[in-house]
């Protein structure tokens, strides 16, 4: 019998289950763009479209785990030594967490978890786990690669439009009973014709390019590896061999690289100031890719015309986190990858990984981040070989 410790975000303040806006979600093809198969567990015990990512949703896992004789503990209490998370860590064989409400699995915490064999991200991004420490402790780290990539790409499109069209202030005029069109439009532009730079042309970056191309923008990208020429031509993307060169030549940047030592605090005052005055940054990757206060300063001075994203550090952020109130922001809590549509996919992927893990079958290569004491599968491509030593994993 295994103990599975699952950290999920709190239930809706209005109670669980919520009143759903729709009765179903669309059925998708069985493969993602590029050929990877969607999650394929032997069975699921939830209705696709249900709220699964919060405590009462339990990722739809309770019936399955308990029928196999396992113990499932679900909590949202994840921070500090007195948290439920730390209380149950010593007896846990498996930890499941979502990047939206990350259970930071630092080296200290891993030392308190002698039975831990699997750290599973229900979603994408394992930077909340200290990968070096996981490798040393022989813990397998896995995530449900691709499960919410399109969800994030759609959010990035929305946030680019939001900023450039000055949507939030205009909406506020409407709901507050006013009608000052000049105020609404004095910061509103069309995105058509803008230079848009995408940092990292991975699954999300490429999906964003595909969705932005019909807007008639000029697409640019930087990645550590250049895409094949035919993909560049198909997406209409111009390659830049450094972030610095990309930053100088675009009006909008959307960030889609993982948080690794090379991207930690990449956007500092110098890089932001090298951009055209009035540029926009959208960041749905990880907050620590930015120097927090340099973003605030650039918005205050007008060097940046807007900043949007859904990733913060830490999560949840303090009530007085400056990104909540900085000018011209269109921030959301960390929601882009946890739509009800995305939850159906990553809950199914989580179930698939658990089925394989308990049957001692190898996990799909694309779901592996750390295995056998080293980076493996997707992890070997996405994370640096010296692990992920960013403060994202410390929980501070």
| Nearest partner of 124 among 151, 103, 109, 145, judged by Cα | 145
State the burial class of residue 145 (Cβ atoms within 10 Å of its Cβ: 0-12, 13-18, 19+). Answer: buried
DSSP state of 9: B
Please identify, among the stretches 4-12, 41-49, 79-87, 203-211, the one whose residues bind ligand NDP according to the rule CB under 6 A. Answer: 203-211
Residues 288-317 close enough to bind ligand NDP by CB under 6 A? 310-311
Contact (Cβ atoms closer than 8 angstroms) between residue 68 and residue 358: yes
Taking the least distance from each CB to ligand NDP, the nearer of 300 and 365 is 365
Among 70, 109, 148, 220, the active-site one is 148
CB of 388 to ligand NDP, least distance (A): 10
Residues 69-108 close enough to bind ligand NDP by CB under 6 A? 99
CB of 352 to ligand NDP, least distance (A): 18
Contacts of 115 (CB under 8 A, 6+ apart): 3, 90, 91, 92, 93
Q: How many angstroms separate the CA atoms of 159 and 184, rounded?
A: 17
- Interface residue with ligand NDP among 201, 208, 305, 326 (CB under 6 A) is 201
Q: Is 315 a catalytic residue?
A: yes
Taking the least distance from each CB to ligand NDP, the nearer of 225 and 361 is 225
Contact (Cβ atoms closer than 8 angstroms) between residue 98 and residue 75: no
Residue 287 near ligand NDP by CB under 6 A: no
Among 109, 334, 351, 364, the active-site one is 334
- Interface residue with ligand NDP among 3, 92, 97, 148 (CB under 6 A) is 148
H or E stretch at 382: helix 377-382
For residue 315, the SS3 value is coil
Quick one: CA dihedral 65, 69, 70, 71, positive or negative? positive
Query: Which single residue brings its beta carbon nearest to ligand NDP?
Result: 202
- Count of residues near ligand NDP by CB under 6 A: 34
CB atoms within 10 A of CB 23: 7
| Nearest partner of 205 among 226, 185, 175, judged by Cα | 226
Residue 258 near ligand NDP by CB under 6 A: yes
- Interface residue with ligand NDP among 149, 279, 329, 393 (CB under 6 A) is 149
Q: How many angstroms separate the CA atoms of 253 and 273, rounded?
A: 13
Residue 154 near ligand NDP by CB under 6 A: no
Residue 382 near ligand NDP by CB under 6 A: yes
State the burial class of residue 386 (Cβ atoms within 10 Å of its Cβ: 0-12, 13-18, 19+). Answer: exposed
- Interface residue with ligand NDP among 57, 102, 125, 314 (CB under 6 A) is 125
Alpha-carbon dihedral 213, 222, 161, 295, rounded to 10 degrees: -170
Q: Is 98 a catalytic residue?
A: no
Taking the least distance from each CB to ligand NDP, the nearer of 65 and 152 is 152
Q: Is 171 a catalytic residue?
A: no
Please identify, among the stretches 162-170, 182-190, 253-261, 350-358, the one whose residues bind ligand NDP according to the rule CB under 6 A. Answer: 253-261
Q: How many angstroms separate the CA atoms of 392 and 394, rounded?
A: 6
Residue 142 near ligand NDP by CB under 6 A: no
- Interface residue with ligand NDP among 31, 138, 262, 324 (CB under 6 A) is 262
Query: Hey, what are 139's tokens?
Result: 């813990």
Residue 124 near ligand NDP by CB under 6 A: yes
Q: How many angstroms separate the CA atoms of 260 and 271, rounded?
A: 18
Residue 204 near ligand NDP by CB under 6 A: yes
Taking the least distance from each CB to ligand NDP, the nearer of 169 and 316 is 316
Pinpoint the alpha helices (H) of 18-102: 62-67, 84-88
Taking the least distance from each CB to ligand NDP, the nearer of 28 and 262 is 262
Contacts of 69 (CB under 8 A, 6+ apart): 1
Q: Is 328 a catalytic residue?
A: no
Please identify, among the stretches 33-41, 255-263, 313-321, 363-371, the one whose residues bind ligand NDP according to the rule CB under 6 A. Answer: 255-263
Residues engaged in binding ligand NDP (CB under 6 A): 99, 123-125, 148-149, 152, 199-205, 223-225, 256-260, 262-263, 284-286, 310-311, 334, 336-337, 381-382
| Residues classed as catalytic | 148, 286, 315, 334
């Amino acid at each position: 019998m295994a103990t599975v410790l699952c950290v999920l975000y709190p239930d809706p303040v209005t109670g669980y289950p919520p009143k759903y806006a729709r009765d179903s979600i669309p059925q998708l093809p069985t493969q993602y763009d590029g050929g990877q198969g969607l999650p394929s567990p032997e069975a699921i015990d939830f209705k696709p479209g249900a709220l699964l990512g919060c405590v009462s949703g339990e990722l739809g896992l309770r019936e399955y785990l308990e029928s196999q004789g396992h113990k499932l503990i679900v909590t949202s209490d994840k921070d500090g030594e007195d948290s439920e998370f730390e209380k149950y860590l010593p007896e846990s064989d498996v930890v499941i967490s979502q990047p939206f409400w990350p259970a930071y699995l630092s080296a200290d915490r891993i030392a308190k978890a002698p039975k831990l064999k699997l750290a599973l991200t229900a979603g994408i991004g394992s930077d909340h786990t200290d990968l070096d420490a996981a490798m040393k402790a022989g813990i397998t780290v896995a995530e449900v690669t691709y499960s919410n990539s399109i969800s994030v790409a759609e959010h990035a499109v929305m946030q680019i439009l939001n900023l450039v069209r000055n949507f939030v202030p205009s909406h506020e005029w409407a709901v507050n009973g006013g009608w000052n069109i000049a105020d609404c439009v004095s910061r509103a532009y069309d995105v058509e014709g803008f230079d848009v730079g995408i940092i990292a042309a991975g699954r999300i970056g490429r999906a964003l390019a595909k969705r932005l191309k019909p807007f008639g923008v000029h697409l640019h990208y930087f990645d550590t590896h250049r895409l094949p020429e035919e993909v560049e031509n198909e997406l209409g993307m111009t390659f830049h061999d450094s972030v610095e060169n990309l930053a100088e030549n675009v009006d909008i940047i959307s960030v889609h690289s993982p948080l690794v030592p090379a991207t930690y605090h990449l956007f500092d005052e110098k890089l932001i100031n090298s951009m055209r005055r009035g540029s926009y940054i959208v960041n749905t990757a990880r907050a620590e890719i930015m120097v927090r206060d340099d973003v605030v300063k650039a918005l205050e001075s007008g060097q940046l015309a807007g900043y949007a994203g859904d990733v913060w550090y830490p999560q949840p952020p303090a009530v007085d986190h400056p990104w909540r109130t900085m000018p011209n922001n269109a921030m959301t809590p960390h929601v882009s990858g946890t739509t009800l549509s995305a939850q159906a996919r990553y809950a199914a992927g989580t179930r698939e990984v658990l089925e394989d893990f308990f049957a001692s079958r190898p996990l799909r290569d694309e779901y592996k981040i750390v295995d056998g004491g080293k980076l493996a599968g997707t992890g070997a491509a996405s994370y640096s070989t010296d692990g992920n030593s960013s403060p994202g994993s410390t929980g501070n």
